[in-house]
Structure 1
């Protein structure tokens, strides 16, 4: 009876225990990252050949105290290595762990190697060589808490290497992790019932191929050409050949009855070609349907009526700027699952709960799995058919009714002008009733973030509610109750469901009132302004991507821009630059420190077909950039934040620093150029010294939208032109 240990990625221990028990290991018991079991050599071989989950199968040779390097050397030399390896054979050593004086795995491997080589030299005068690729035997040394264990690695190479992989995508999924996902999702039972397997983001096809081999009862190790025991002196070739013959017969029968019910989709044609090559090498190419399609357009395969399993390993978005786009992908994927796969099961592995929530589905089970070193969650779902729910309207409280009445009054007052001027994003309420202190903005969305306007689900009305700081003498619970009443009133007045209302709440904190944590939905809508399209995000940021109070200012810049070189400083999402481009600007240059906002700006330009080298986006600290730029600009829009203390830039205070900022802008201004300067500091005072070099005109009243009439101090705005130098005759 051999003492054995099968290793596996963390999170798979209980699955591996059950698998080994099914293979005949009655005493299998789970441990961290593996399972202990014992049995004859035939059981060890069967585990190597048939385990879909294990990484390695180790046959223990010795365990002993190893407080230092000498004890490790002595313990390794006590093993009779001639029973395992010929003098002209090869070996490799993998070391893991540390303890006491044995702190480095390379040193542990070196001392074990010395012990083996010394023994052979003493006995025969010759020594085996080291071969790290395909040695005659591979030795595993583990050191932990002053003890060392030495084992033969019967697999030789990790068992997830099945022998069929020809190519990979950007983020390949290991085969044993893919099998764990399939098992947790209940695939064997679904396959037995004749269900289909669909992977909407299949990459190189790992989930589909492993799913097909599992359904066909094909041993996962059947196509491997190398094993760690083939050069071992204790190898029982007859037992191994009998197991291979049995496995081959089972695979032949299983593949003969397998149905072509495996559907894989991906947007990348290159990776689909890798999937085809892999499927061919695995012997299941005839059962897979692979096609180019994005997850946002996922449909149930034609002709498939029997419920099946949708399973996927979508991208995790580890790189900068990817997370926002992923939120939209996950939501669209979740929506397609709900709409097209009622009655099916689904399983999705995600990097964190945030992405899991973006699916918009209620998971029935959550499992922690590890994709390499990355902790992930496998979410499984029963996709039940959703019946439309009737919206039950709660009666309005007295306060909520008052707010609803005021909103309705504002609507009646503003509607004709909104329709006449084509305004679809506007302020509907601005603390009109002081006890209900919030601003309510309306966004009429014409599409989702991909810019496909006028789809079946659009246009839609969305609301953005920002709470103002309540007076300190108002109890916090009273303020919370009033805010809930206000949201209820807004929902009632606009007939908008709660899920389309973004609420930004404030809390009292040291240093003053602050906004609370925002959602991370990554949900972008497309709205229109002046015939142009812009992306907005109502939930994830304090601001939405489109400052509504700047609407007249953007239209003014559009009129001024024709034929001019336009500079937009602190550009945010560059909506002003897009207006300038649409107005016929010769060029636009948009500067901001945030990569996120510049990516957003690029999407705004693309939405409006304003692309190319004439429209430049620059990531930089504005003050530093102005000091080094050598361009000349005819029209400059400057809308700085009130404060900025970014670690990547100079501290900025608009009251303290605006004079220096505008003088730097003046240095970049063409002789007949114009600066439009705006900010939203309520008590802002323009530095009087600027009159020495600029003709200044306060144009604030002309830039306040009619729907912001209750709040005329929402911003200030000035036009500045350089004073001409006095002539000799003046």
Structure 2
């Protein structure tokens, strides 16, 4: 019978039970489980098998001795008393890894130095040559651990950590360790799904670790087969015959597996450089025929249609806050991921490994099991989902939960009734157009009657009222009375309580008091424009985050954007960039001076599954940015404010005065066959004649006004399509 030894296998915290099952299945006899480690008994061949086949272990340590001691002298004496010539040759290169401390041994460096001295002195005392020290490429790595007054001495059979499979030549930002990736797949029951022909998709695959581990697991390829260095080859007790036999067996199994068809494994990432890294790693692993990756935004996530897959696993490790930005942006990424799961992957399983578990609750799908783990030093959770209707969480629309009968009892004044009748007439006139085009956000009323100088906009089930400045001939009391009548009529017509109507009320004061503002609610609503999801906030800001009158232009951008480089100047909340991204733009750049609006833009992009890798935001004065821009764009939106004297600007921006220079600077960045869309809301604007002399101009003003804005009189905005001659 082969000699049996005592061993310790280490692993990341939280994987102990999985590791115990694994090494037991590989033939070891389990002894004791501790945090991040499992002790076991086995012969040398079984220990080698665990080194080669363990998907979870960090190290396999051959225990030489354990003794009581906390002092430096006890450490030295205990190690010097070992028969080191049974384990090391005199010409061996060694290094010592020391863990732990005591009152006498204050740091790991001192502990390692004392341990090394004991080993070297053992050989010197016997009159033989002493081993040399090589921290980078040792023949033998000695592991010494001091814990709770006991010192454990072992030979590290692994060499470097077993999680290093030797296929990763380069890694994306914050890659998963290979053994942690394997643990996620085991917890999600990927081996079971793979055995039944299921597929696997990672929509944010990074450098491809989950994909490669999944393929090796499904194909039963030994995870250590690509490694060339092992800790046991310099150990004097090494059994080369046993090791060669294990290698031959593993290579034969791999060759057999490579000849078969296996479940489809696909990965996507928005970052082209990261996709290239993943492809290189997959090729290093020899799995290019079985694992496919491509550059794709989360917005494009859907079930592959070229092959029928009976079941499958959607697994991913989304970006953490430090990798993508603020929690608010991540929230919308998670919501989009949850919506894609519900829309395209019903019947599949999902596994989301997240360092932001609270965001997992916002996905709209209820997880049925969770595991607490660490990703390096970051606390994280693995959330498991059965993607079916029973797990879907229906988010309640607060606007629909209110008592819609609350407004029905309000008795309108004659003026209020007249205003209500006009609202109903406009709603009827617009209904066919609105329904045909699936429009959620539109203008119902815009100062149609001089007595009621307000704009009324619908945002889904919510209503927004903006009061225009009353003429000086109208008293403050009359202005307030008419606004009350407007609010009561809107409340009754739309069956919404007055407290849930957003009101932007303009006063005659100037400066900061020009607009009366309700207390901030941080109340963002998610609505649709075409294929894009948009966040609007009706209460907290002067504007809602969506300029309704530019709807046709934005939708035209979406229709034109495929393969284009899109630039959004004075980008506001980035809705046009979202439309370009949804339309398939190669990349977008959004430039604005407001950090608040750029953050809002990043939220909108995240909500639509559009990553910062391809959709960049730039905090800058657009005029300065254009002067230094050296890039070329195929499609540009230039929609400057009518007037701006921001403190962050060196001088005042006056669109009437400055638009010629702005257009010239923008055209310098426009590709030869590109299109510039120039728009302004200045009511008495006049396009400089020099612009028409230099460039090909097409007046799109009337076309760019949908039915809710196509009223008589001066248009709410002007719009031109400008090209190089």
- TM-score band by shorter chain is 0.5 to 0.7
1:391 positional shift:
12
Partner SS, residue 87 of structure 1:
coil
1:383 to 377, 381, 387: 387
Corresponding position of 2:600: 600
Provide the rounded CA distance (Å) in 1 between the counterparts of 2:86 and 2:13: 33
Describe how 1:68-467 pairs up with structure 2 within 5 A: 68-259=71-262, 261-302=264-305, 303-318=307-322, 321-385=325-389, 401-403=405-407, 405-406=409-410, 412=420, 415=423, 444-445=458-459, 460-462=460-462
- Pick closer, same or farther for the CA change 1:135–1:630 going to 2, 3 Å: closer
Task: Single out whichever of 7-16 and 248-257 deviates more from structure 2.
Answer: 248-257
Provide the rounded CA distance (Å) in 2 between the counterparts of 1:190 and 1:257: 17
Number of paired residues? Answer: 522
8 Å CA contact retained: 2:64, 2:153? yes
Q: Deviations over 1:30-67 (max 9, x none)?
A: 32012121121122111111110011111111112222
Provide the rounded CA distance (Å) in 1 between the counterparts of 2:422 and 2:32: 72
Partner SS, residue 85 of structure 2:
helix
- Pick closer, same or farther for the CA change 1:177–1:13 going to 2, 3 Å: same
Q: Can you give the 5+ residue segments of structure 1 that lack an aligned partner in the other structure?
A: 429-440, 446-459, 466-489, 503-513, 552-571, 579-588, 618-625, 637-730
Describe how 1:464-475 pairs up with structure 2 within 5 A: none
Q: Deviations over 1:215-261 (max 9, x none)?
A: 11111111110100001001111111111122122222222224261
8 Å CA contact retained: 1:84, 1:232? yes
1:42 to 26, 38, 45: 45
8 Å CA contact retained: 1:444, 1:527? no
Provide the rounded CA distance (Å) in 2 between the counterparts of 1:363 and 1:264: 22
Q: CA RMSD in A?
A: 4.8
1:463 positional shift:
7.0
Provide the rounded CA distance (Å) in 1 between the counterparts of 2:200 and 2:32: 32
1:360 positional shift:
1.7
Corresponding position of 2:623: 614
- Pick closer, same or farther for the CA change 1:612–1:370 going to 2, 3 Å: same
Q: Deviations over 1:523-543 (max 9, x none)?
A: 765789xxxx996455xxx95
- Pick closer, same or farther for the CA change 1:196–1:627 going to 2, 3 Å: closer
8 Å CA contact retained: 1:205, 1:264? yes
Provide the rounded CA distance (Å) in 1 between the counterparts of 2:133 and 2:310: 54
Q: Normalising by structure 2, what TM-score?
A: 0.62
Provide the rounded CA distance (Å) in 2 between the counterparts of 1:627 and 1:546: 16
Provide the rounded CA distance (Å) in 2 between the counterparts of 1:260 and 1:160: 24
Provide the rounded CA distance (Å) in 2 between the counterparts of 1:277 and 1:549: 42
Describe how 1:682-693 pairs up with structure 2 within 5 A: none
Provide the rounded CA distance (Å) in 2 between the counterparts of 1:344 and 1:600: 33
Provide the rounded CA distance (Å) in 2 between the counterparts of 1:284 and 1:6: 28
Provide the rounded CA distance (Å) in 1 between the counterparts of 2:393 and 2:356: 30
Partner SS, residue 139 of structure 1:
strand
8 Å CA contact retained: 2:140, 2:159? yes
8 Å CA contact retained: 2:6, 2:40? yes
Corresponding position of 2:61: 58
Describe how 1:486-565 pairs up with structure 2 within 5 A: 536=535, 538=537, 544-547=540-543
8 Å CA contact retained: 2:67, 2:151? yes
8 Å CA contact retained: 2:314, 2:351? yes
Q: Deviations over 1:463-500 (max 9, x none)?
A: 799xxxxxxxxxxxxxxxxxxxxxxxx9998589xxx9
Partner SS, residue 170 of structure 1:
coil
- Pick closer, same or farther for the CA change 1:278–1:359 going to 2, 3 Å: same
Provide the rounded CA distance (Å) in 1 between the counterparts of 2:230 and 2:23: 19
1:263 positional shift:
1.1
Partner SS, residue 366 of structure 1:
strand
